[in-house]
Amino acid sequence: MPDEEKIKAGSGFKELLKLYRFLKPYRWKFALGMFFLLISSGASLMFPKYLGNMVDIANKGKLISEISHTGLLLLAIVVVQALFSYLRTRIFVMVTERTLASIRQHIYSHLIKLPMSFFSERRVGELNSRISADISILQHSLTETLADLLSQILIISGAITLMMISSFQLTLFMLAVVPPMALAAFFAGRAVRRYSKKAQSFVAESNTIVEETLQGIQNVKAFTNELFEINRYREKTNEVAKVGIKGGKYQAALSFIVLGFFVAMGLVIWRGAILIAKGQMEAGQLFSFVIYSGFIAGNIAGMASVYTRLQRTIGAAEKLLLILDEQTENIDEIFVPDPSSQLHGQITFDHVDFSYPSRSEVGVLKNVTIRIEPGQEVALVGPSGAGKSTLVSLLLKFYEPTGGTILYDGRDSRSFPISSIRRQMAIVMQDVFLFGGTIRENIAYGKPGAGEQEIIDAAIQANAWDFIRSFPDKLETVVGERGVQLSGGQRQRIAIARAVLKNPTILILDEATSSLDSESERLVQEALEKLMQGRTSVVIAHRLATVRNADKIIVLESGTIVEQGTHSELISNENGLYKTLTELQFST
């Protein structure tokens, strides 16, 4: 089920509130920031009142000293408002950054502990977006959006209260003419933003077309698809124009809304002037009224921006919480395995069946029974899709069998901690993944905290030390993203050194020598033979020449074991799949 379908309607605010638990360690600082917000908002409300008082004092012909006194009071109010706004912003920024750091750490810690079944159904770009883009959306919203919303509510309610105290009649009149214009601005602003967002989406799609066609221009021309791409780009840009035109109607309507504001303010002043003429109101009070009316209108219209930010924040929160709702693996934090979980290398597949969660109706393994003794080298061979890599995934407990049992040393694999099993295994794959750091960091990944001599010894055993020391920076040589600075054979030997350093009980080799030139293959094969000595080894191979000396060869086809035995036993079976595969390879 797509993530979006899991989000229940109307649960947005509830989901957003769940993220506020990360604010708990900073709740007192957050409360202090809210207190400063109250003071700065209150100071803002006092400013129009004392401006009106100053006008009344001047109207009544009082002493200049009283005007100056009121002016100084206004200055003090402005200073207080600025000071507490500054303190509130500093506190909210600090609380936001620390809270976001906590959220990032928690999401990443949770994400990296999720099982392989989760990652097999998600794209890396999508998950990266969750932990970067969605959390960035929270950056200005987690505290600021709430603060802005509260500030606007306080200013609107406070302004109306002060206006009611000053003149009940004029307040009711103002509420009849000003808020409708502000609400019109609110909804028009929302519509403009909505269409703007749609237009940005179509622009992004049209830019993707340009980027892809220019990168693949050779294919475009080879297939004579220039007109196809031109039409595709025209459709997207026309959609941008249509959406922009629709949004333009609401943008144009803002001109009438601005006119409506002037009319509304004019009506308030007109009504206030009548009250002044009747002696029911002072000129200063009307002056304050006009400013308060502007406050109310501005804050009601500004709620459109706050509402948009709030919706984006809720959307980001929902997506993040969907990840947190996923069940993690039970990862053991202790690095050294418990003696009771120590593996000796015996592996048994007892009538194992398996189907991937995303396609449960397709049986990938069917009634697989294998017994591997400690120290044996067992090869898995067969055509692509036979189930070889799936067996390895089950060995590493990336998935659990849907039927049957996997045993280690006669014990059900489910009785072992996951971390304990994986820490006693090492895998060298065909497509070696190296991190973008140094050679030292990549080898030491097999045993974090290993000393330099341990790393060098592992490199020597992996036939890697000669090329490593030929580099000017030796172990500090940066390998580049995914190891692009190294050749295929060098990457394989770094991976073998990593496995040597880990000193596993069970070794898994997945096509470790394919796609290499003859010299690199010889060096890698020598290193692998040294690594396999005294260890239980499970080898996946398409090059059957590399597994002739295996203690046992398991031949798989369509998820079922069709043959097993030594090379000489299997090659003597005239009608066997192994003999057929061998003849095909060697005849080629």
Is residue 234 domain-resident?
Answer: yes
The dihedrals phi and psi of 403, each to the nearest 5 degrees, come to -155, 150
277 by Cβ neighbours in 10 Å (0-12 / 13-18 / 19+) ranks as exposed
Cβ proximity of 401 and 353 under 8 Å: yes
Cβ proximity of 428 and 528 under 8 Å: yes
CATH code assigned at 66: 1.20.1560.10
Cβ proximity of 487 and 548 under 8 Å: no
**Do 107 and 1 share a structural domain?**
yes
Cβ contacts of residue 428 below 8 Å, gap of 6+?
A: 492, 495, 496, 499, 507, 508, 509, 510, 512, 528
**What pLDDT, on a 0 to 100 scale, did the predictor assign at position 518?**
65
**Do 119 and 12 share a structural domain?**
yes
Is residue 568 domain-resident?
Answer: no
**Do 8 and 128 share a structural domain?**
yes
**What pLDDT, on a 0 to 100 scale, did the predictor assign at position 411?**
86
Q: What is the DSSP letter of 438?
A: B
**Do 132 and 42 share a structural domain?**
yes
**Do 59 and 179 share a structural domain?**
no
Cβ proximity of 211 and 233 under 8 Å: no
Is residue 2 domain-resident?
Answer: yes
Interatomic CA distance for residues 104 and 388, integer angstroms: 37
**Do 182 and 97 share a structural domain?**
no
Is residue 402 domain-resident?
Answer: no
**Do 223 and 114 share a structural domain?**
no
AA letter at 427? I
Question: Given 329, 358, 393, which residue is the final one in a domain?
Answer: 329
Q: Which two tokens stand for residue 501?
A: 């350093």
Angle between helices 488-502 and 518-532 (to 10 degrees): 10
**What pLDDT, on a 0 to 100 scale, did the predictor assign at position 28?**
87
Count CA atoms closer than 13 A to 437's CA, side-chain side: 8
- Measured in whole angstroms, the distance separating CA 268 from the mean position of its chain's CA atoms is 51
For the CA atoms of 23, 28, 29, 32, the dihedral, rounded to the nearest 10 degrees, stands at 130
3-state helix/strand/coil string of 349-398: EEEEEECCHHHCCCCCEEEEEEEECCCCEEEEECCCCCCHHHHHHHHCCC
What does each of the 588 residues of the chain score in pLDDT, given as a tens digit? 344 444 443 445 566 666 667 777 888 888 888 888 888 877 777 777 766 666 666 666 556 677 677 677 778 877 887 888 888 888 888 888 888 888 888 888 888 788 777 776 666 666 776 677 677 767 666 666 777 777 777 877 877 787 777 777 777 777 777 677 767 766 776 676 677 667 766 776 777 778 778 877 887 778 777 888 888 888 888 887 887 787 777 667 666 666 666 777 777 777 777 777 777 767 777 777 777 777 777 777 666 667 667 766 776 777 777 777 777 777 665 555 567 778 888 888 888 888 887 777 778 888 888 888 888 888 888 887 788 888 888 888 888 888 888 888 888 888 888 888 888 888 887 777 788 788 888 888 877 878 888 888 888 888 888 888 888 888 888 877 766 777 777 888 888 888 888 888 888 888 766 555 566 667 777 777 777 788 888 888 777 777 778 888 888 888 888 888 888 888 887 777 878 877 776 665
Is residue 134 domain-resident?
Answer: yes
**What pLDDT, on a 0 to 100 scale, did the predictor assign at position 519?**
65
Is residue 272 domain-resident?
Answer: yes
pTM (2 decimals)? 0.67
**Do 146 and 78 share a structural domain?**
yes
**Do 217 and 152 share a structural domain?**
no
**Do 109 and 193 share a structural domain?**
no
Question: Given 329, 361, 393, which residue is the final one in a domain?
Answer: 329
- Structural domain containing residue 73: 1-167+309-329
**What pLDDT, on a 0 to 100 scale, did the predictor assign at position 549?**
80
For the CA atoms of 143, 144, 146, 147, the dihedral, rounded to the nearest 10 degrees, stands at 110
State the total domains in the chain: 2
**Do 132 and 191 share a structural domain?**
no
Is residue 140 domain-resident?
Answer: yes
**Do 145 and 59 share a structural domain?**
yes
Is residue 216 domain-resident?
Answer: yes
